[in-house]
Structure formats: structure tokens, C-alpha cells
């Protein structure tokens, strides 16, 4: 999808910016859903499961470092998406929880490595000193490696009451999302593009791989272990790709509109580092319009599902479009 042809695919479902009790309309059905409460409950479950998955044990230093970043209080977007997709296709939360935790472990490790001096050289993440600032570069690299390895071990060892073929499909999906044609691919093109003029197709490649792939895999894996039919899984893939791209477009907008304190990470650094971003390529107003369109397009992919069951994913699209940090 590109910014230029995107508007033709946009439907006229109007996202509301406020988070909390929402009324929305799919198939002319009015439904009410407490999104804020849903997020809080799921985030708490995920946090407890992560805490249990990485106990403080020997060797102490590495587990301290892993826990420092993993339990630093991120928004838990990927794990909650994973659980919501599983529940949408009729699966139980417990079935998706190990996978959900794995997506957060991978996300956290990618941020630890992204912040390293050899990458973005950042000092602040989730309102705290970055992992290498707190533990040193050597420990931070290893903490990232250990989290990546643990993510796959955790899925294989902890996913219970799910047919094995579904677990294997989910592992393959997640593995491809983080590798050289996924997150790593997006990051390498991002690094190579720094200081260069890039067009929309390169920028879209970076965002779709660096950010959207893991969000997509979180949703798709949740739907797979929840027992979703192939057609539903693929529809949810399209939904997730839109919100994945949306997530990064909003990230680019926040970088130039919010303060370091509001973001909990260094603001304005895309400008300083001469990174390509949507606001730079299309201007702030057009980037905002594009974000709005992506949110609406994502919601459109949910039309064929039961409105009440799709409520969490529907609200998620609004939440990502209008998040403030
Ligand atoms: C943040 O982007 C970084 C990412 C979304 C992913 C970075 C990926 C890697 C470092 C590869 C990790 C390795 C594996 C094996 C998954 P940003 O710098 O634009 O955003 P920020 O402002 O939050 O730092
Ligand atoms: Mg960075």
C-alpha cells in the first residue's frame, strides 16, 4: 500500500479520538465497549506472566538486565493484540498468553539493541536510562540475545492445549517476522538510509518491516493458536499491517510534536539524525491524514466479524491512531 493510492481504499467509518467507553458502528450495530478497562486487565495479566517467565536467578546480572527492560511498563500493545485476535476467533486467553509474552520479549530485545551506541545511541527508554546505560553495552547485547531465545523457548514449552501444527505455524510466522526479511531487514534498510534521500517505497519498506511485521505476527499468531480459519487469519493480517504502519506513522508524528518528558524517550531525534519520516516526506498535516486513513482502513478489515467480538481490535485501531506517547 502506498500513501498515494491509499485514500481510494478508505471507508467512511469515523474513528473517535477519545479512549475509554466507546460507541461504534459496524454493520449499523451500536455496541459499547470499555476499552480502557480491557487494556488495563490484559496488561496486568501480561505483566504478571512476564514477571514469572523471567525470575531473578543465577546469573543475577543478566536476569536483572532482562527484567529491567521487560518489566519497565511498556504499553503491551503486541501481547494484547495477540490475545484479542485469539479471542476474536473463539480461542481462550490462556491459549495465547505464552505467545503474547513472546511478542513482548522480542519487542523489548529489539528496543534494547536499537538503543545501543552502534545503532541509535539513545539514553532514555520508557522513561528510564536505556539498558546499556544502566548495565553496560556487553550486558545489554546479551540481555537482548537471551530475550530473543527465551521468546521461542517460552512458546514451545508453555503453549498447552493447542494442536501442535498450530504452534509450529505460529513459531514459523514469528521467526520470519523478526529475521532478515522482517524486523532485522527493516532496521538494516533504516540504518543504510540515514542521511540519504529516500522515496515513499523505501520509507514504507522500513516501517512495514521494522514495526509492522511484529504487530502483524502478534495478531496472526493469536488467530492461529485460537483456531481461526485461514480466511479470517488473512483478513486479520491485513488489519494488522494497517495498524502496524499506522503505529510507525504516529511514532514519526509524535517525535516532532511531543516533548521528551511526554514520550518517555528522546523527542526530536529523527530530525537530528536525518532519518526519513512521514512528516518529513509529506508534511505534518498530510502525515496526520494518512494516519487517519490507515486507521479507517484497518477497521474496514474487521467488518466481516461479529461487531461485539471485534470491539477490542476496533478500539485498538483508534487507540493507536490517537495515542499521545
Ligand atoms: C525502534 O525504531 C526500533 C525498532 C522498531 C526495531 C529495531 C530492530 C532491531 C534493532 C533488530 C533487532 C533484532 C532482532 C533479532 C529482532 P525507532 O528507532 O524508529 O524508534 P524509537 O524512537 O522508539 O527508538
Ligand atoms: Mg531508535
> Which of 190, 285, 283, 208 lies closest to 247 in space, CA to CA?
208
Provide, rounded to the nearest whole percent, the portion of the chain with pLDDT above 90: 72
What are the tens digits of pLDDT across the range 166-178? 999 999 999 999 9
What are the tens digits of pLDDT across the range 41-77? 999 999 999 999 999 999 999 999 999 999 998 889 9
**Protein residue whose Cα sits closest to atom 15 of ligand 1:** 178
Inside any domain, residue 267: yes
What are the tens digits of pLDDT across the range 183-234? 999 999 999 988 888 898 999 999 999 999 999 999 999 999 999 999 999 9
Inside any domain, residue 13: no
Residue 285 has pLDDT above 80, yes or no: yes
Name the burial class of residue 70, with classes exposed (0-12), middle (13-18) and buried (19+) by CB atoms within 10 angstroms of its CB.
Answer: buried
> Which of 5, 4, 9, 3 lies closest to 299 in space, CA to CA?
9
Q: How far apart are the first and last CA of the chain?
A: 25
Peptide bond into 59 cis (omega under 30): yes
Provide, rounded to the nearest whole percent, the portion of the chain with pLDDT above 70: 88
Is the model more confident about 30 or about 312? 312
* Mean pLDDT for all residues in the chain: 88
Entry pTM: 0.88
C-alpha cell belonging to residue 236: 486479520
Residue 2 pairs with which residues in a beta bridge? none
Inside any domain, residue 241: yes
* The predicted structure's pLDDT at residue 130: 97
Distance 273 CA to ligand 2 centre (A): 10
Inside any domain, residue 26: no
Inside any domain, residue 308: yes
Angle of CA points 75, 68, 255, to nearest 5°: 45
> Which of 313, 193, 207 lies closest to 251 in space, CA to CA?
207
Distance 182 CA to ligand 1 centre (A): 11
Name the burial class of residue 163, with classes exposed (0-12), middle (13-18) and buried (19+) by CB atoms within 10 angstroms of its CB.
Answer: exposed
Distance 187 CA to ligand 1 centre (A): 6
Inside any domain, residue 43: yes
> Which of 61, 56, 251 lies closest to 141 in space, CA to CA?
61
The domain that holds 288 is classified in CATH as 1.10.600.10
Inside any domain, residue 191: yes
Task: Please indicate whether residue 108, judged by its CB atom, sits closer than 6 Å to ligand 1.
Answer: no
What is the domain extent for residue 286? 33-322
Domain count, the chain: 1
Inside any domain, residue 141: yes
Contact in structure between 50 and 101 (CB atoms under 8 Å):
yes
Amino acid at each position: 500500500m502506498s500513501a498515494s493510492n491509499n485514500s481510494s481504499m478508505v471507508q467512511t467509518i469515523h474513528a473517535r479520538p477519545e479512549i475509554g467507553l466507546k460507541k461504534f458502528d459496524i454493520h449499523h450495530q451500536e455496541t459499547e465497549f470499555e476499552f480502557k478497562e480491557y487494556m488495563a486487565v490484559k496488561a496486568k495479566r501480561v505483566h504478571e506472566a512476564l514477571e514469572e517467565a523471567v525470575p531473578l536467578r543465577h546469573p543475577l546480572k543478566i536476569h536483572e538486565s532482562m527484567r529491567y527492560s521487560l518489566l519497565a511498563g511498556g504499553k503491551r500493545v503486541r501481547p494484547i493484540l495477540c490475545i484479542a485476535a485469539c479471542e476474536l476467533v473463539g480461542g481462550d486467553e490462556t491459549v495465547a498468553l505464552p505467545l503474547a509474552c513472546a511478542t513482548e520479549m522480542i519487542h523489548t530485545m529489539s528496543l534494547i539493541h536499537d538503543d545501543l551506541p552502534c545503532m541509535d545511541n539513545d539514553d532514555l527508554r520508557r522513561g528510564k536510562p536505556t539498558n546499556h546505560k544502566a548495565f553496560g553495552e556487553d550486558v545489554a547485547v546479551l540481555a537482548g540475545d537471551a530475550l530473543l531465545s527465551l521468546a521461542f523457548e517460552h512458546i514451545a514449552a508453555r503453549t498447552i492445549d493447542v494442536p501442535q501444527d498450530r504452534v509450529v505455524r505460529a513459531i514459523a510466522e514469528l521467526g520470519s517476522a523478526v529475521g532478515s526479511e522482517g524486523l532485522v531487514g527493516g532496521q538494516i534498510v533504516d540504518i543504510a538510509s540515514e542521511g540519504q534521500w529516500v522515496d515513499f517505497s523505501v520509507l514504507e519498506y522500513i516501517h512495514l518491516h521494522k514495526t509492522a511485521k511484529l504487530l502483524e505476527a502478534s495478531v496472526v499468531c493469536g488467530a492461529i493458536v485460537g483456531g481461526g480459519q485461514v480466511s479470517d487469519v488473512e483478513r486479520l493480517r491485513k488489519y494488522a499491517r494497517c495498524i502496524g504502519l499506522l503505529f510507525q506513522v504516529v511514532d514519526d508524528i509524535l517525535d516532532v510534536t511531543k516533548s521528551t518528558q511526554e514520550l518517555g524517550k528522546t523527542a526530536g531525534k529523527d530530525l537530528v539524525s536525518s532519518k526519513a519520516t512521514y512528516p518529513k516526506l509529506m508534511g505534518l498535516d498530510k502525515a496526520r491524514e494518512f494516519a487517519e486513513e490507515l486507521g479507517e482502513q484497518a477497521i474496514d478489515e474487521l467488518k466481516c466479524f461479529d461487531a461485539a467480538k471485534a470491539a477490542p481490535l476496533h478500539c485498538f485501531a483508534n487507540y493507536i491512531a490517537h495515542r499521545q506517547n
